[in-house]
Amino acid sequence: MNEYGLLIDGVWRPAEGGRTLDVVNPATGVRQATAAHASADDLDDALAAAESGGRAWRSMTAWERSAVLRRASVLLAERADEVARRITQEQGKPLREAASEVAQAVEQLDWCADEARRIYGRVVDSSSASTRYRVQHEPIGPVAAFTPWNFPISLAARKIAPALAAGCSIIIKPAEEAPGATIAMAECLMEAGLPAGALGVVTGDPAQISEHLITSPVIRKVSLTGSAPVGRRLIELSAVNIAAVSMELGGHAPVLVFADADPERAARLCVQGKFRNSGQVCVSPTRFYVHESIAEAFTAEFVRLTAGLRSGDGLNDDTDIGPLANERRRQAVHAVVEDARARGAKILEGGEIVDGPGYFYRPAVIVDVPDDARVLREEPFGPIAPIGTFVEFEEAIAKANSTDFGLAAYVITNDLITATRASEQIEAGIVGVNTLAASHTPVPFGGVKQSGIGSENGLESVQAYLVTKTVITELTPL
């Protein structure tokens, strides 16, 4: 059994007083590991280390920082199988999905190793022959970052790698449910030559940790991937010291399937995307709007494929869909399904808690869902697929834009005009056309409306951890 400590000032250590939290395998309900429960004194030590370590890290050249990130990506790639297995045991997703996630983290470190050397300033011409303008970018300062359990290493990498590339120190709090992969990546970074204090890892009580770190004057930037309510709270805390924020706060992604699409092929694409990680994905398709002319065929194939999904331990080769992360999530998902049922929706498949060990839930396919049902208003974050219909293009766009979220959306059509018009009119930070793969390292990932503030990935990833300085030099002697 793994025993995870706190990374503070370059040293892995137990929490003050030896307090720990249990890390449980969601497929079995059996304790998989323990994680340290940080105290206020531990957090103060982490802040002090981030302050001193940040000064050392930012003083290194961009090429030196790049070399550390590159070496860490190589080390993580070498340990990919071990880390993927740890993800499956702590989070529950099938092993092949966990392996893909580790590959994303490796790519993120490698990408940011390049971006560390591409932080460019500029010289601006002045109207005066004796005046010079120079614009340069500098690290914003120590960062506090918070990541959830659904992608325990890739989401951490999307914060750690660009922050370090920019020259910032960072304290990260991974989710207590699945901290092992983030810890494995931190070990790679330390072995790659990261200075003590440039990276801290703390686990414990989320509310205590967030309030203690964010309200410290040491922290100059806050980055969260989480729910909208948590995001609002962290923004409030950030206001104490006017710390900058990046917030990825989830979504409620519509899928518009137009009449020219092949309904069976579209259904296969949608089932594959919907039930990845048991639907516990912020860009997961959560509302399917299908043109009425193909809705019957689409729905029949969707139900058939969903019924054939094999649930089980993610370590088994034949598992298609793993458990939900914990019992709280399973009960929350079931409550959303039951709300739809109570409002008159029809459950065509699944929608049931699976008896036995682990937190398994039969994926639900729902039709005739009224607009006021929770599943169409709240992010369901689970294996629930409501299917509705539309007739006119404008109706489809109105339904797609009918929530307060705007992270990802998807369009399935073979018509270039339809694809172009829909992608332009949908209110979302990411639009996939004939693909449900929404996150790629080279392009920005972020939402609009209540889905958040700022972007990760792409050029924007490192820019989020920089501040701009203007230097004005007058050459006239004094």
pLDDT band at 276 (very low <50, low <70, confident <90, very high): very high
Give pLDDT, residue 60. Answer: 97
User: What is the rounded CA–CA span in Å between residue 180 and residue 31?
Assistant: 13
| Domain covering 253-441 in this structure, CATH number | 3.40.309.10
Residue whose pair of structure tokens reads 């860490």 in the numeric block: 72
Catalytic residue among 282, 349, 378, 456: 282
The CATH number, out of the four listed (3.40.50.1000, 3.90.79.10, 3.40.605.10, 2.40.30.10), of the domain defined by the range 2-250+450-471:
3.40.605.10
pLDDT tens figures, 210-220: 999 999 999 99
Instruction: Tell me: pLDDT of 14 over 90.
Output: yes
Residue 478 is predicted with a pLDDT of: 86
Query: Of the listed 90, 176, 248, 349, which one is catalytic?
Result: 248
How many angstroms from the chain centroid is the CA of residue 19? 28
pLDDT, average across residues 413-439: 98
Burial classification of residue 342, based on how many CB atoms lie within 10 Å of its CB (0-12 exposed, 13-18 middle, 19 or more buried): exposed
Dig out the tokens for 218 from the structure: 């040491």
Spell out the domain ranges in the chain.
2-250+450-471, 253-441
What is the rounded distance in angstroms from the CA atom of residue 287 to the CA atom of residue 284?
9
pLDDT of 275 > 90? The answer is yes
Q: Which residues contact 62 (CB under 8 A, 6 or more apart)?
A: 116, 117, 119, 167
Specify the pLDDT at position 356.
87
Res 433: pLDDT: 98
For residue 124, what pLDDT is reported?
97
Q: Is the pLDDT of residue 136 over 90?
A: yes
What pLDDT, in 10s, does the model give residues 62-85? 999 999 999 999 999 999 999 999
pLDDT at position 135, please? 98
Q: pLDDT band for 131, please (50, 70, 90 cuts).
A: very high
CB 164 within 8 A of CB 68: yes
Query: Is 188 part of the annotated catalytic residue set?
Result: no
For the stretch 438-455, pLDDT in tens is 999 999 999 999 999 999
In a 10 Å sphere around its CB, with 0-12 CB exposed, 13-18 middle and 19+ buried, how is residue 327 labelled?
middle
Do 172 and 179 meet the contact criterion of CB atoms below 8 Å apart? no
264 part of the active site: no
Distance, CA of 245 to CA of 250 (rounded, Å): 16
How far is the CA of 340 from the CAs of 224, 369, 373, 375, in angstroms? 30, 6, 6, 7
Report the distance separating Cα 192 and Cα 64, nearest Å.
11
Distance CA 437, CA 22 (A): 33
Decide if 54 contacts 141 (C-beta within 8 A).
yes
Contact 432, 407 (CB under 8 A): no
Classify burial at 18, counting beta carbons within 10 Å of its beta carbon; exposed 0-12, middle 13-18, buried 19 or more: exposed
- pLDDT tens digits for 355-405? 989 999 999 999 999 999 999 999 999 999 999 999 999 999 999 999 999
C-alpha R_g of the chain: 23
Q: Please give the pLDDT value at position 104.
A: 98
pTM of the full structure: 0.96
pLDDT given for residue 435 in this prediction: 98
> Phi/psi at 280 (nearest 5 deg)?
-90, 65
The token pair at 62 is 């961009």
pLDDT beyond 90 at 1: no
